[in-house]
Structure 1
Amino acid sequence: MHTGQRQGDLLQLRWSNYDGEYISLRQAKSKRAGFRGKLVNIPCTAALRSMLDGMDRASDFILTTKTGHPFKKRYFSRLWSESMIAANIESVKFPHIEEPQELHFHDLRGTAVIMLNEAGCAIGEIVAITGHSLKTAATILEQYLARTKHLADSAIAKFEAAPSAEFANRLQTKAPEN
C-alpha cells in the first residue's frame, strides 16, 4: 500500500531498486504490451523505510520465501489468501455498496490512490508514485472515493486560503440591518 505497485512488480523488486530513500523500478505491465515499462521513483514512507531497513537481505530479491527464494506468483497468492482469511478481512462492507466486496491484493493499489488523494495529493502527484495513467487514476477516484466531511472541510479551508477567495467573499450579501 505504501508503493501503489502491482503484485508482479513487487515480487520482482530487488534490493538494488532501494537506495535507502527511494524505490525505483520500471513497471512490467507496459513491457508485456511491447513498450518500455514506466519508470517510477517512489519516495519511501517512514514506515516502509523502517521495515525495509530492518529486513535481512538473504537474497537479491526483497520479498522472499522462508528459504530465501523469490516468490512464485501462485505461492504468494495462496499465502496472501490464507493471511486474509486468518485476519478475517477477505471481504469488506462499504457504505455505498450493498453487498460485501471480496478483497484482493490488487485492491491495495487502488487504496493507495484513494489514500494519497485524501492526504491532499494532486492527481499528478498520485500517478507519479503509482504509475497509473491520469485517466485510470481518475476512474479509481470516481468509483471509490468517499465524499467525506474531512475532504469537504479540507476543500473549504483551501478555498478560503486562496487569493481568489477574497473576490468571492466580496460578492457575499450581508444580512439586512434592522
Structure 2
Amino acid sequence: MEKILVVSSNKTASETLLDFLRGSFKCTPKIVESAYQAKVHLNSDVLTELVMINSPLMDESGVEFAEYVTENTTANCILLIKAETAEKISERAEKAGVIIVGKPFSKAILYQIVRTVDIAVSRSVELYLRNARLEEKINEIQTIDKAKFMLMEYKSMTESEAHAYIEQYAMNKRKKKSIAALAIIDKLSEQYL
C-alpha cells in the first residue's frame, strides 16, 4: 500500500504516525490537518488507498469525515478516536465501513490493523484486475461472435467459414482477432445497414 493520507490536527501525533507508517510499511504518506484539506486531496488523488484520521480534527470530530471517505472514495478508512467515544459510535462506523481504533493503543495493534487493510487492498486490486481481464475477454468473444453472425447473415457463410475468414483477415492485417472482427463489423455495417 503506497497511497496513504493521514489527517491529524495534532502535530506530535502526525509525526508519530508518519514515522510509524514509513518504518513499518515503506510508504510516503501525505499529511493534512483538516477534513477540508483531506477532501481537496482526495478529489485530486482518487487512487488513495487508506485514510487514517486522528480524531478530533480542527474543523470537525472526524466521524463525519470518516463516513465521507467510505461513501465517496474507494479508500479504506481507519479512525483513531478516544476509547469511550469509539464504543458509542462503533455501530454507526461499522455500517459505514470505517475501522475504529480506540485511543490509547499500542503500535502492535495499529500495525496489525494497517497490515490487515494492506492485505485486503492487495487482494481487492488483484481481484479487480482479474475481473477486468475476464470482462475484456468476454467483450472480445462477443465482438468475434457478432462478426461471425454478420458474415453468416450477409455473406451466407457457415459458422466455420466465418470463423476461418476472421482468422485469415486478422493474420493478413496483423491484428488481434477482436480488432479484425471490429473492422469486419464496420465494413458489413457500411454495406448492409
| TM-score category (smaller protein) | under 0.3
- Structure 2-normalised TM-score? 0.24
Which has the higher Rg, Structure 1 or Structure 2? 2
Higher relative contact order (CA 8 A, sep 6+): 1
Which structure shows the higher helix fraction?
2
Which structure shows the higher strand fraction?
2
- Structure 1-normalised TM-score? 0.26
